[in-house]
Amino acid sequence: MNRSSSIGPSARQGIAAVEFAVCLPVLVLVVFASIEACTMVFLKESLTVAAYEGSRVALSPNATAEDVVARCQEVLAERKVQAGAVQLTPSVPAAAEPGTPIEIEVTAPCAANAIIRVWFYGGTTVRGSSTVMKEY
């Protein structure tokens, strides 16, 4: 004999309500965690793109550190990245000798860029970088 056939309709609804109450928080957590993970992937990609765009500016003959930082900040603003910081090595790209690697590192804190301010990423800082070689 099938046990579910001996349970009345109101008891089945009660069981379904309990299952829903148990599963819903887990489902909501998975959805929000997925959204946050996608946000952090976008943040990482945005920092890498900003560093790449900054390295393109750094290769110009009369490039200054201000030009490089301005281009990186422009890309970060377009992508709505908050609290981004740019570090350039060497600090004066125009004075670098040919063959010198120029490295640009762009960082941003996860907490300032998260959609939901939760403990998920804590005080983590995401980094994106680009290294190019001075040619002339």
Domain boundaries, the chain: 7-133
Spatial distance between the Cα atoms of 129 and 55, rounded to a whole number of angstroms:
9
The confidence score (pLDDT) of residue 123 equals 83
Spatial distance between the Cα atoms of 44 and 121, rounded to a whole number of angstroms:
13
The confidence score (pLDDT) of residue 115 equals 86
In three-state secondary structure terms, 96 is: coil
Spatial distance between the Cα atoms of 57 and 93, rounded to a whole number of angstroms:
9
What is the mean pLDDT of each successive set of 10 residues along the chain, which is 136 residues long?
Answer: 62 85 93 91 97 94 93 98 96 89 96 81 91 89
Cα–Cα separations (whole angstroms), residue 15 to 1, 6, 8, 70, 128: 20, 14, 11, 60, 50
The confidence score (pLDDT) of residue 10 equals 77
For the chain, what's the residue count?
136
The confidence score (pLDDT) of residue 1 equals 47
